[in-house]
Copies of this chain bind each other. A is one copy, B any other.
Amino acid sequence: MRRPTIKDVAERAKVSLKTVSRVINNEPSVMQGTRARVLHAIAELDYEPDQSARNLRSGTPFVIGLVYDNPNAYHIIGVQNGVLAACRETGFGLQIHPCDSTSPLLAEELAEFVQRSRLAGLVMTAPMSERMDLVNALAARGVKLVRIIAATEDPQDGHACVYVDDHDAAYEITEHLIQLGHQRIGFLWGGLAHRSSVERYNGYEKALKDYGITVDKHLVVPGDYTFDDGFRGARRLLALREPPTAIFGSNDEIAAGVLAAAKSAGMNVPYDLSIAGFEDSPFSKQSWPPLTTAKQATQDIAKQAARLLIAGLRSDAYDDTSTPVHNQGFVPQLVVRGSTAPVRLRSDRNDPHHE
């Protein structure tokens, strides 16, 4: 037997689809006689509203979810505020869901989150957004989502996304350091699970190559997007026989860790060491000296992602023909502040840590 649809109910009760929808969702504006007819029709047909569709058709509040696994408070707040701005425009609510990106059961967890909270869709941030196995698993379960990813161009893989070109901004930062005369430029990686980290490294490497500087693997240190890894990585680099004269931390947290390490070693930044970060977190202006970085419009990026999701959800709120939504790219911009300066020759230095 064919499963009855909302249309069957409407026909049997001799009312519009909208009226059936109102009755299902217990909206007040239905006359008693009409409501009774619809309820009887539902009972007779044994019609069961489709759960996922109900979210959008019904009085059930429109809610989207935001999924993240990021240690940086400022970054998360920026993303949240961007998504909230788009929610406010459209009357959507926002549920937040920090998660562990390394969990083997993440697809199940997120699908359960969507179902339990009856979410209309998800905004996914890196690194979850960049794991195609996860994205495909969620899409296969009918989860509508939009991804915020690092990429130099639109991946056109059938999933809505907002992409941020970290490569070119990382290239610019490295070029800025080279133009200040730095040849030994340390690089501190963020988490390898983040595509942004790879893109930032690639930009760094490309700039060095373009300027004829050989990449010295001793100057490249693995780590995560954290202050602590910046601190540790910098200590390691500064302890080298030939330490770098500049360090590019692949986000501002890392760069702040480098700054603390330099200060704890009695170094005068930027004269003894130039430091650059990435993202333009609020605290990159608050450190002393303030950090040279790449301005990433985190809030705008997240807002655009949520708008994309909501536009997609609205286009198929009443049917399944989804209208095309446009992916959008963002390019962070170099911001030069006090933490970078022209290189000093080693012979100029009187810092005992470098002798």
Contact = CB atoms under 8 A, between A and B. Distances in A.
Interface of A: 24, 26, 28, 32, 35-37, 39-40, 42-44, 46, 48-49, 51, 54, 60-61, 63, 73-74, 76-77, 80-81, 84, 91, 93-96, 98, 116-118, 227, 256-257, 259-260, 263-264, 282-283, 286-288
Top 4 closest pairs, chain A to chain B, by CB? A39-B43, A36-B43, A263-B288, A73-B73
A32 B24 CA distance: 17
A73 B77 CA distance: 6
Contact of A260 (B257, B282, B288): B288
6 contacts: A63-B63, A73-B282, A93-B117, A94-B96, A260-B286, A260-B288
Copies of the chain in the assembly:
2
A233 to B, nearest CB: 15
A223 to B, nearest CB: 15
Contact of A96 (B40, B49, B96): B96
Nearest to A37: B43
Contact of A48 (B28, B49, B95): B28
Contacts of A77: 73, 76-77
B95 A95 contact: yes
A76 B42 CA distance: 46
A321 B116 CA distance: 28
Contact of A287 (B51, B54, B260, B282): B260
Contacts of A43: 35-37, 39-40, 43
Contacts of A32: 46
A353 to B, nearest CB: 15
Contacts of A48: 26, 28
A98 B81 contact: yes
A95 B63 contact: yes
Contact of A84 (B61, B93, B98, B117): B98
